[in-house]
Structure 1
Amino acid sequence: MRIEAIPIRLIQRPLFRQNDQEKVRALMESIQEIGLQEPIDVLEVDGQYYGFSGCHRFEACSRLGHETILCKVRRASPSILKMHLA
């Protein structure tokens, strides 16, 4: 696993999640004041990035106009990706 700033536009979010908008607003305020404190988790499969957690942080950074987001990147095989999509 490595920690890396990845362009938000390169991270696919294959599972829909309904975010708590109040939590997103609070995170936006916090990120503006002190920055993102906890990286989101992404899987790297064949050079593609997939995010399954950190949905509130991802939305907050996106709405703030950030081009990158700090990620804990774990390489995985296509079969591991399929398990996450099941």
Structure 2
Amino acid sequence: MRVQEIAIAKIRRPLPRQNDQAKVQKLMESIQEIGLLEPIDVLEVEGEYYGFSGCHRYEACQRLGYETIRCNVRRAPRSVLKMHLA
């Protein structure tokens, strides 16, 4: 696994999730004050990025207008992606 900055627009969120908006707001305040401390996890499959965790951090950075987000990137074959989507 490696850490890298990835364009938020390039990260696909294939599983819909309802975020706790109070938590997102608190994260936005924290990120503005001290930055994003914990990268989100993404799966890289054939050059495309898929996010399955860090939903609140992702939304907070998106709402703050960040163009990129720090990610823990794990490369995987399409078969692993299919397991996450099952």
Q: TM-score, normalised by structure 1?
A: 1.00
Aligned-pair identity in percent equals: 74
Cross-structure match for 1:63: 63
RMSD of aligned Cα (Å): 0.2
Please give the alpha-carbon distance, in whole angstroms, between the structure 2 residues aligned to 1:51 and 1:21. 19
Q: Give runs of ≥4 in structure 1 deviating > 4 Å.
A: none
* Count of residue pairs brought into register by the alignment: 86
| Secondary structure of residue in 2 paired with 1:38 | coil
TM-superposition CA deviations, 1:4-44 (whole Å, max 9, x none): 00000000000001000000000000000000000000000
Cross-structure match for 1:78: 78
Please give the alpha-carbon distance, in whole angstroms, between the structure 2 residues aligned to 1:36 and 1:5. 12
Please give the alpha-carbon distance, in whole angstroms, between the structure 2 residues aligned to 1:84 and 1:10. 18
Cross-structure match for 1:49: 49
Please give the alpha-carbon distance, in whole angstroms, between the structure 1 residues aligned to 2:8 and 2:18. 19
Q: TM-score, normalised by structure 2?
A: 1.00
Which blocks of at least 5 consecutive residues in structure 2 are unaligned?
none
